Amino acid sequence: MGEAEDMRADRLIATLLLLQSRGRVTAAELADELEVSVATARRDLEALSAAGVPVYPQPGRGGGWSLVGGARTDLSGLSAMEAQALFLLVGPAAAVSAEAKAALRKLVRALPQTFRADAEAAAAATMTDPVGWGERDRGRPKLVERLQDAVVRRRKVRLTYDNHARERTERLVDPWGLVDKDDTWYLIAGTERGQRTFRVDRIVTADPTDQPAERPDDFTLATAWQQVVGEVEQRRSHTWATVLIEARYVAVLRNHFGRHCHLDTELDDGRARVRIAAPAPLDIARHLAGWGALIDVLEPPSVQAELARIGAELTDRYA
């Protein structure tokens, strides 16, 4: 857990305390108070609301965001479930951060006595273990915290980057956000050619500058990442194949191909027609070769040919 997560936990608590004291604030006022962008302040308010904390936008002139109950509402106005929702949201950030733990202790003291035990239990109820069974902990790339700091401080970063072809380039980027995808970190940034995504483990050097970074006012990291996911998954499903398999094994096949496994039809003989996809015919054949006669590839011929080639190689070696 890095500095950016600690800062976000502190901001969420500071936002609640500010709402408690003022009753209502605009995203611009909150941004000025916490020294963050308006977009960041708005995302923090939306995160609190989505977590079940009674924070709601007020439309019209003089609007803004407020805690239910108005200016006199304090943290004792949270219900038991709302207090638990808040601590489930920020609890994981406090698991390894002394600063976040201290902030949560202060918030606990602001809750009614009857809620404190449940709130503390909620904060300790969730943790994240990114290491798969039988895998080694790859650890967080060393540059993540430096990039997080640049995102939070909104400073341009000069990158030295090796692309997928191992071609090294240097560029000046506007860091917009970081994503941890299955223990692989990605930086989403603005460049001269628009939004780009960089794998952090391919970044050779990252040197923050004193130049202010620019970021679109309507940018949200979640939306940007969903766009990236859509583009990547489309490339990963370039080749489609239709197979017949016993219906009871469809779940196993789906575990291999994930979102690129679609059940087409269940037949009367207990088999199912399934559509699966991968980047290339060889990728599909490699997954299916071990199934032997349990699976029948109906099409395309390119996958059938790769399976025949793999079978011939195995026969030549082991027959």
Q: What is the pLDDT of residues 6-61, one digit of tens each?
A: 456 667 777 877 777 677 788 888 888 877 888 888 888 888 777 667 777 776 66
Are residues 253 and 200 located together in one domain of the fold?
A: no
**Angstrom distance (rounded) from CA 34 to CA 36:** 6
* 133 belongs to a structural domain: no
Last residue of a domain, one of 180, 202, 232: 232
Name the amino acid, one letter, at 228.
V
Q: Which two tokens stand for residue 99?
A: 């600063």
Are residues 8 and 51 located together in one domain of the fold?
A: yes
pLDDT of residue 239: 95
Matching residue, tokens 């054949």: 285
Are residues 182 and 243 located together in one domain of the fold?
A: no
**Angstrom distance (rounded) from CA 108 to CA 90:** 12
Are residues 246 and 312 located together in one domain of the fold?
A: yes
- Tally of domains within the chain: 3
Residues of the domain holding 251 = 237-318
Are residues 243 and 228 located together in one domain of the fold?
A: no
* 265 belongs to a structural domain: yes
Are residues 160 and 115 located together in one domain of the fold?
A: no
Lateral strand order in the sheet of 24-25: 24-25, 64-67, 55-58
Give the CATH number of the domain where residue 76 resides: 1.10.10.10
* 193 belongs to a structural domain: yes
Contacting residues for 116 by C-beta, under 8 A, at least 6 apart:
108
pLDDT of residue 80: 62
Give the CATH number of the domain where residue 202 resides: 2.30.30.520
CB count in 10 Å sphere of residue 193: 7
Are residues 41 and 113 located together in one domain of the fold?
A: yes
- pTM of the shown model: 0.58
Buried b (16+ CB within 10 A) or exposed e, 162-176: eeeeeeeeeeebbbb
The phi, psi pair for 315, rounded to 5°, reads -65, -45
* 19 belongs to a structural domain: yes
**Angstrom distance (rounded) from CA 1 to CA 307:** 45
pLDDT of residue 35: 76
Are residues 108 and 50 located together in one domain of the fold?
A: yes
The phi, psi pair for 293, rounded to 5°, reads -80, 0
- Nearest CA among 100, 70, 66, 46 for reference residue 221: 46
pLDDT of residue 76: 56
Matching residue, tokens 């929702």: 85
pLDDT of residue 94: 56
* 130 belongs to a structural domain: no
Contacting residues for 76 by C-beta, under 8 A, at least 6 apart:
110, 111, 112
pLDDT of residue 191: 94
Are residues 288 and 247 located together in one domain of the fold?
A: yes
**Angstrom distance (rounded) from CA 212 to CA 156:** 6
Are residues 243 and 272 located together in one domain of the fold?
A: yes
* 131 belongs to a structural domain: no
Matching residue, tokens 């195995």: 314
* 166 belongs to a structural domain: yes
Buried b (16+ CB within 10 A) or exposed e, 42-63: bbbbebbeebbbbbeeeeeeee
pLDDT of residue 72: 39
- The 3-class SS string of the chain reads CCHHHHHHHHHHHHHHHHHHHHCEECHHHHHHHHCCCHHHHHHHHHHHHHCCCCEEEECCCCCEEEECCHHHCCHHHCCHHHHHHHHHHHHHHHCCCHHHHHHHHHHHHCCCHHHHHHHHHHHCCCCCCCCCCCCCCCCCCCHHHHHHHHHHHCEEEEEEEECCCCCEEEEEEEEEEEEEECCEEEEEEEECCEEEEEEHHHEEEEEEEEEECCCCCCCCHHHHHHHHHHHHHHHHCCEEEEEEEEHHHHHHHHHHHHHHEEEEEECCCCEEEEEEEECCHHHHHHHHHHHHHHEEEEECHHHHHHHHHHHHHHHHHHC
* 178 belongs to a structural domain: yes
Last residue of a domain, one of 188, 213, 232: 232
Give the CATH number of the domain where residue 274 resides: 3.30.70
Last residue of a domain, one of 204, 232, 260: 232
Are residues 53 and 7 located together in one domain of the fold?
A: yes
**Positions in the chain short of pLDDT 50:** 1-3, 5-6, 70-74, 96
**Angstrom distance (rounded) from CA 156 to CA 160:** 13
